[in-house]
Structure 1
């Protein structure tokens, strides 16, 4: 692969181990279901959706030089992703994520992204001092950034001149990591993709709906924000105003990766020229297709 990528996806690329049951679950339940292992992680989920929309993403991440890492790189290559710039560590194992889902949604999850965190700024070298860009020649395209990076590294990215020309699209890896996005809250070229809980954590308050959350983030200096709230109306805000839209009502068969699919579909829609309500609607449609077990795109 020699053509330049359409977008950079920076963050977690790992194996998702997901257990799904078709019945409602609560703490301590032991029920029949299906267990799968598939490529995942925020950056990977975004990249997979971008591929379904015909875009070629390049991955900037850490993947071990172990058997699981070799399998993961091969899977990425088969899907048409650019893996030339992946940091392959000799001493760090390939990361993993494990989740249990029931008919009532996500029951519990553990993200083991310690290798990504340990690799730190080494995953950014192709962009900060390499073939993709540098401080003297900043990368001018779209960068999808996930909150699995450490708070220190995210803070450095927010100030790094190598990112000064980039169209930054940023999402937390989970509500527990939402506050890591604070360095980007007032960044003029950043778009934040958060759910209602994550918006509340960033603002240190609770919100009744996505519209209220988006307005609060605007008051705190955010240039562009998209806030989702499960099956309730989502909101998108930028200097031109604020819009809301209600997601399609679908049967929920999976939830892991829904937010990443929403973000990727919105990016793809805007890259195709869609704006405002049209881009938001396409993102909600893609997320609904993902949740119901269909394909986005």
Structure 2
């Protein structure tokens, strides 16, 4: 049988939401009901897209697996992805589903509110995974053997499929919940003790159905629930990487916050890149915290 993985195989697959971010940013603090002056931008986004963009800046070669409509917004998004150096060959293009969108409002005091419209990704279901099961990138008998970054915009049933299907058995799975509202979709990776989970303190609490005082306690709680490996962040406070063999806890740099949307994705991507370079646990966690802090300050994470 012909070997599925070759030199042309992507270094990492970013599977999940690829959409347009519409972000309004006000330089002043905002409260409920405020009508403030600011700037509104549209830019490529979604958890999978944000991770892929950052990985590309770190010199990796990511490919996107997602659903994008065959509408003008979708055509623009595919073109923008290619210009960013991302492989779009495996994206499912739908004739009847529109391109997804995300809308957020940010103030000087952080994220005020956001709505993620990833209904097309959810409706596409396992169609976005065809390349991993039809022989293009892998099959059940000959699984893809590289890194996969997954996000919680995928449905619970699809994430459970990935956690248990032989076509993903040899992949290094890296999983993020996308938002606290979707954190519980990561339960299959606790049940089946698979993958590396990237969550914040609130998301860890939702997964474990309890409250934690800090990232170290949350990491311990997730391991006790069945997680194989976790990274827990807590905003400007400590972050912890943990497995059964031990844990590492570090404090992030202190910076002035200029933006929030995408910071967690930047942290995850920077950590994956550091792991891929062979960095030790402490160095990899430190690299991820520094990249996220630089991103939040308004600078590129390099």
Counterpart check, 1:64 vs 2:69: yes
Quick check: 1:186–1:223 contact (8 Å CA) kept in 2?
Answer: no
Quick check: 1:62–1:86 contact (8 Å CA) kept in 2?
Answer: yes
Please, which of 192, 197, 204 is the counterpart of residue 199 of structure 1? 204
Q: Look up the SS of the partner of 1:232 in the other structure.
A: coil
**Alpha-carbon distance in structure 1 between the residues aligned to 2:219 and 2:201:** 9
TM-score of the superposition, structure 2-length normalised?
0.97
Which moved further from structure 2: 256-265 or 124-133?
124-133
Q: Look up the SS of the partner of 1:37 in the other structure.
A: strand
Q: Matched residue pairs, number?
A: 296
Deviations 1:253-289 (A, max 9, x none): 1000100000000000010010211000000000001
Structure 1 stretches of 5 or more lacking a match? none
**Alpha-carbon distance in structure 2 between the residues aligned to 1:281 and 1:118:** 38
Please, which of 146, 158, 161 is the counterpart of residue 156 of structure 1? 161
Quick check: 2:164–2:192 contact (8 Å CA) kept in 1?
Answer: no
1:220 shift after superposition: 1.2
Structure 2 stretches of 5 or more lacking a match? 1-6
**Alpha-carbon distance in structure 2 between the residues aligned to 1:87 and 1:19:** 29
Counterpart check, 1:246 vs 2:234: no
Partner residue of 2:91? 86
Quick check: 1:11–1:61 contact (8 Å CA) kept in 2?
Answer: yes
- Summarize the alignment of residues 62-211 of structure 1 with structure 2, pairs less than 5 Å apart: 62-211=67-216
**Runs of 4+ with >6 A deviation:** none
**Alpha-carbon distance in structure 2 between the residues aligned to 1:262 and 1:82:** 21
1:186 shift after superposition: 4.2
Q: RMSD in angstroms over aligned alpha carbons?
A: 0.9
Counterpart check, 1:237 vs 2:237: no
- Summarize the alignment of residues 20-59 of structure 1 with structure 2, pairs less than 5 Å apart: 20-59=25-64
TM-score of the superposition, structure 1-length normalised?
0.98
